[in-house]
Structure 1
């Protein structure tokens, strides 16, 4: 993921989140077996087979629901990717109030909480971790690392993501600072925070997949008491539109009063012409980088992920 004004490669968006997070992508120093380690660590050191009872999940993890772990059942036999952990001493310097939560654990897993939960559920005795105290410089850096790991994952609750973004804004002191830390556009930060303004009923619809995030962002701008009614009206309109749907290859008919729709139609026509002319995504991405500013590139990337 591009950070702090760096260029974003629009042709490789999918590789920038989740288990490919930049937080733990730096090659680690040679592994040390858990039984032979001492108390002095090289930052980024891989420690193998750390007993599960010496590990605790991140108490500040924005992801409250671990979800179905069946996809990680093979961790009982092999662990393909180590977790990223912080030593107890370093953690308590930042969060002294967590001493009781941490208890006798020696490491706090910042990235890899699902792997830790799966290890416990499927009977793995030890887990490989990269000890990286350098990511624990402040409460903001811890929250940032946890958010970056989860952003974009299909099984990450979008409202938990919104709450995590809101927490990071509070830690950083401004939405602009949070956007910089995450390498996201200001609009993306604003849109995620807006979801917290939805009524509880609509939040449940969003969580359950009955409400699309794009519509949810619009509904969040509607007065609280009128949101549910506005959602039902939008549903009826969508059903009617679906019944009258035209063939897939035809351009949508623009509403003369809807400038955004008209602009979309023009853009679709232009892009179809480029595609027919043999312009591939890599060439298009290169052209967009020359035309759009860094902030506009971030906005485009965020919009493509919706």
Structure 2
């Protein structure tokens, strides 16, 4: 079964509190984010062009009765368009909606519809995608079935699920909100490492990134300003200003076994350099 298409039927306008947020949406919507601000500014200027797709309370609770307390007394449940819903709420306007109860025919169909817009438009960061895919696998019973439902390959599903095996520090680096974000291609095999190995790999990546961003000589006044370091690199620098201070910080936080594992990872290429 392929990702269900979001119906483009007639719309109506209702108070925002008549529409509950989608409890299954893996996207964490920050009401103060630049994305919501842009949508809010656009709606304030020209109005809400694209309606928020919803299903009725009855249709949603027929497949997800466990979420009744979360949707409270709302008449509808949002499927997609969560940022639009947030922006309209901030503007205290009516929310334009399109009702499509066919999307709540089954649990897997509703979840696929929830993920469809975000995946197609790449609105989710990799970790949010991974949590969404994990939910789909649980709903469908296998990675293969989830891949078919999402119109993705089984390899893509496996790659996203592997991200959930990464330690929080690595996951945080994957969702940096700028050009300094840790690329997915770099962490492709990191899920095979233990926690100490992943931390060592992240530290080494941060060291290399810092070296790239550190000029070898003073830059002329007309040069382009150096790019801002990511929060991850800044966090690594906060471990200490010198190797000795970094070592002291790690000794205070990590076990002897983990520190040895990190040392082994950092010195992995030392033999070839010394020869």
1:183 to 151, 172, 175: 151
1:165 to 133, 154, 160: 133
2:5 to 23, 26, 30: 23
Could you say which residue in structure 2 is the equivalent of 1:119? 88
Instruction: Label 1:49 to 1:71 Cα distance change in 2 as closer, same or farther (>3 A).
Output: same
Instruction: Label 1:121 to 1:163 Cα distance change in 2 as closer, same or farther (>3 A).
Output: same
- Runs (4+) of structure 1 moved beyond 4 Å? 152-155, 234-243
**Structure 1 contact 94–138 (Cα < 8 Å) conserved:** yes
Could you say which residue in structure 2 is the equivalent of 1:93? 62
1:9-20 correspondence to structure 2 within 5 Å: none
Point out where structure 1 has 5 or more consecutive residues left out of the alignment. 5-20, 29-45, 244-306
Q: CA RMSD in A?
A: 2.5
Whether 2:25 is the aligned partner of 1:53: answer: no
**Structure 1 contact 219–231 (Cα < 8 Å) conserved:** no
1:194-273 correspondence to structure 2 within 5 Å: 194-208=162-176, 209-234=180-205
What is the rounded CA distance, in whole Å, between the counterparts of 2:135 and 2:53 in structure 1? 21
What is the rounded CA distance, in whole Å, between the counterparts of 2:148 and 2:122 in structure 1? 23
Whether 2:112 is the aligned partner of 1:134: answer: no
What is the rounded CA distance, in whole Å, between the counterparts of 1:59 and 1:110 in structure 2? 9
What is the rounded CA distance, in whole Å, between the counterparts of 2:28 and 2:63 in structure 1? 21
Could you say which residue in structure 2 is the equivalent of 1:84? 53
The alpha-carbon deviation at position 231 of structure 1 amounts to: 3.1
* TM-score, normalised relative to structure 2: 0.68
Point out where structure 2 has 5 or more consecutive residues left out of the alignment. 215-275
The alpha-carbon deviation at position 167 of structure 1 amounts to: 1.0
Instruction: Label 1:152 to 1:233 Cα distance change in 2 as closer, same or farther (>3 A).
Output: farther
What is the rounded CA distance, in whole Å, between the counterparts of 1:216 and 1:168 in structure 2? 23
**Structure 1 contact 197–224 (Cα < 8 Å) conserved:** no
Where relative contact order (Cα < 8 A, 6+ residues apart) is larger, the structure is 1
Q: Deviations over 1:35-81 (max 9, x none)?
A: xxxxxxxxxxx232122221111111111234431111222351111
Tell me the matched-pair count: 206
What is the rounded CA distance, in whole Å, between the counterparts of 1:82 and 1:242 in structure 2? 44
What is the rounded CA distance, in whole Å, between the counterparts of 1:134 and 1:152 in structure 2? 20
Could you say which residue in structure 1 is the equivalent of 2:256? none
What is the rounded CA distance, in whole Å, between the counterparts of 1:72 and 1:150 in structure 2? 16
Could you say which residue in structure 2 is the equivalent of 1:260? none
Could you say which residue in structure 2 is the equivalent of 1:144? 112
Could you say which residue in structure 2 is the equivalent of 1:70? 37
